[in-house]
Structure 1
């Protein structure tokens, strides 16, 4: 079992390196197998194709993102500052994969794609990302009504997805436009969270979260 896990990990490590260095389209399963020192059949034993390796990329990015984000979160800091730190750390983690952006869009945008951030196959990475947003809220001094504890982390994750989409299409040097977007966006989000404590806004947030839940559930994706 240990050798099986080691071989699978080597295939993932090589695939992600080739995605970074040569791009997704130029990387073949045969090249991955050769670089990993396994047979092509063995590579296909672990992954049916490159698309499945995209979900491994999600997990690697989310683990690295969480590790970096926890180092920059300030307990008792403002939500605006903490959210900015978390979003910027996410951009730092994704930076080596920017050339992969076009291929990512082709794979991830179809709602039935297993590589979609909303797919069942991406649920572990999605849960990890949402949990990081929950930690961001809990670490910040901004108080959130208990009734919104499950709602707001999901909505912050959706904002993170929007930032990621902008980053994928950002051709500015070092994706500086996306950095500017983050810096301008987080104060607005922090104000919206404060307003969410009001009963009238709380209902709206709950409605949006309900829609999000339907979008990310297997039943909703089948419609």
Structure 2
């Protein structure tokens, strides 16, 4: 099997992806079983590893992800290639592509893992609190707690995510699973609370809260205060305002405004 370097991607990555001249492919969806002849985690650049559902396969997957995040921190997102990630992780390039089809898929893996950690971090407060403001405040702070170790390199890939056509965008088709799961967390914030919400607003409120959370993250990315303390102040100052607006939404005099806002949001989705 010969090897050829793929063109540079829009994200600036020289992917170094091996091309399978036999027609079988090296990544998932190639039509083969996805296993190399030896079934192990090592091999040539065109060799793929074991099924990711196995314990060993999951260890390899996590090793590749952890290595990628470390290199992103050290070298920057655009300067880190899949070949470099594979070399640092001690796996064949083909194995790296077996678990993650591109650098963008690695960041999607980071999104999913971060969300899973966010759910775990927020769980105690959601189990103990019924007050809407307290639940929302806890979830926002938990999100920043989970993201904090990544602050040093977050700006690097957020620049790429800000591109409208980037698969790393939180609004992209590739991010749909992570987006849905994140909104579901804010659905839990609302569902477990005693908040009285205008029936018109309730179905859309979790998504609006998620959009607000994205705003907090954007502020956090640019926050250079010690330990990003200003982001914490932003959360503590914004939550009471959100809580009050949610409560006021039930007032008859404000229902026309609520209706207009929701119509605008719904029209922008399409």
TM range (shorter): 0.7 to 0.9
Segment of structure 1 superposing worse, 76-85 or 53-62: 76-85
Q: Determine the structure 1 residue equivalent to 2:222.
A: 169
Q: Which structure has the highest helix share of the two?
A: 1
Give, in angstroms, the shift of residue 17 of structure 1: 4.0
Give, in angstroms, the shift of residue 28 of structure 1: 3.3
The answer to whether the aligner puts 1:156 opposite 2:209 as a matched pair is yes
Q: Determine the structure 1 residue equivalent to 2:44.
A: none
1:32 pairs, out of 73, 85, 107, with 85
Segment of structure 1 superposing worse, 101-110 or 20-29: 20-29
1:192 pairs, out of 245, 251, 258, with 245
Contact 1:33 1:39 in 2 (8 A): yes
1:4 pairs, out of 18, 27, 51, with 51
Contact 1:12 1:53 in 2 (8 A): yes
- The size of the alignment, in residue pairs, is 214
Scaled by the length of structure 2, the TM-score of the pair is 0.72
Segment of structure 1 superposing worse, 5-14 or 86-95: 5-14
Partner SS, residue 106 of structure 2: helix
Q: Determine the structure 2 residue equivalent to 1:78.
A: 131
Contact 2:76 2:153 in 1 (8 A): yes
Runs of 4+ in 1 over 6 A off after TM superposition: none
The answer to whether the aligner puts 1:63 opposite 2:110 as a matched pair is no
Contact 1:148 1:206 in 2 (8 A): yes
Contact 1:19 1:27 in 2 (8 A): yes
Q: Determine the structure 2 residue equivalent to 1:221.
A: none
Scaled by the length of structure 1, the TM-score of the pair is 0.86
Contact 1:155 1:209 in 2 (8 A): no
Contact 2:200 2:259 in 1 (8 A): no
Shift in CA distance, 93/148, structure 1 to aligned 2, threshold 3 Å:
same
Partner SS, residue 180 of structure 2: helix
Counterpart CA distance in 2 for 1:143 and 1:212 is: 26
Counterpart CA distance in 2 for 1:169 and 1:212 is: 27
Contact 1:30 1:40 in 2 (8 A): yes
Contact 1:195 1:201 in 2 (8 A): no
Q: Determine the structure 2 residue equivalent to 1:207.
A: 263
Contact 1:19 1:97 in 2 (8 A): no
CA deviations on 1:29-77 (whole Å, 9 max, x unpaired) are 2232123331123213443432321111111111110111122125553
Q: Determine the structure 2 residue equivalent to 1:219.
A: none
Shift in CA distance, 153/63, structure 1 to aligned 2, threshold 3 Å:
same
Counterpart CA distance in 1 for 2:233 and 2:112 is: 26
Partner SS, residue 142 of structure 1: coil
Counterpart CA distance in 1 for 2:268 and 2:244 is: 21
